[in-house]
A = this chain, B = another copy of it.
Amino acid sequence: MRAKREALKALFTAISENKVDRDIVDLLLLINSIKGVYTTSSCSGRVGIIEEPKIGAKPLSRWIIKKHAPITFEEAKDSLKDAREGIIFLKAQPPIFHIVGETPEIGKKLHEIGLSSGFKYTTFKALSKDRVLVEINGTEYLTVPLGRDGKVLITDEYLEFLINLANEMLERSKSRLPRLEQNFKKLKKELGEDELFYELNPPRAQYI
């Protein structure tokens, strides 16, 4: 249970420092209040524009705009003025959750919840003797190179088309979050609540 204690402390600190996407704070608290379950990382889904020095050079990449909600054509267009070096990508990414189940049986339940909530890229990311790390993930990924080294190669008409599509994909993927929450509420009834969670003073009253 030591690992869950550390994970909860880190989560509560992140929430109190506003470092967690607001629209999934309640869901994360719900998940972590379940006995035998905790999250290690998550993102509520986002749209943005990023510069990557080379293909696959993730650590050196730089977001020039990033939002967990739809962006406007004007915001996108404006942000492109900041492009300097590397390949410029527009990205849409669905919500993603890394969740530990403290037994293989709990891990399988988490996996089922992801799939039955419509997150079709849900997989087991790691298996150890007793714990299972599940990734709940959607399929709505868009990765569109827009230009290179500050030079944008697309028209306004096309940018608008891209932004509309990226926003539509983001909203589509986020629309599954309420179902995910319902399914975790059911899981909490089944597995029970975790005393440790309440002991550590979670940041929001409705879960205490």
- In the complex, whether A1 has a CB less than 8 A from a CB of chain B is no
Minimum distance in angstroms from A136 CB to a CB of chain B: 12
A168 / chain B contacts, CB cutoff of 8 Å = 55
CA distance A158 to B147 in the complex (A): 8
A124 near B: Cβ within 8 Å? yes
Residues of B within 8 A of A135 (CB): 123
Identify which of B140, B145, B172 contacts A142 (C-beta below 8 A): B145
Q: Which residues of B contact A169 (CB under 8 A)?
A: 55
**Is the C-beta of A3 less than 8 angstroms from some C-beta in chain B?**
no
Q: Number of A residues whose C-beta is below 8 Å from B?
A: 32
Please state if A142 and B139 are interface contacts (CB–CB under 8 Å). Answer: no
Q: Quick one: closest B residue to A153, CB to CB?
A: B158
Residues of chain A whose beta carbon lies under 8 Å from any beta carbon of chain B? 55-56, 87, 104, 107-108, 111, 123-125, 127, 135, 139-145, 147-148, 153-155, 157-158, 161-162, 165, 168-169, 172
Given A55-B140, A111-B127, A141-B143, list of 20 further CB < 8 A pairs? A55-B168, A55-B169, A55-B172, A56-B139, A87-B165, A123-B125, A123-B135, A124-B124, A141-B141, A142-B144, A143-B143, A144-B145, A145-B162, A145-B165, A147-B161, A153-B158, A154-B154, A154-B155, A155-B155, A158-B158
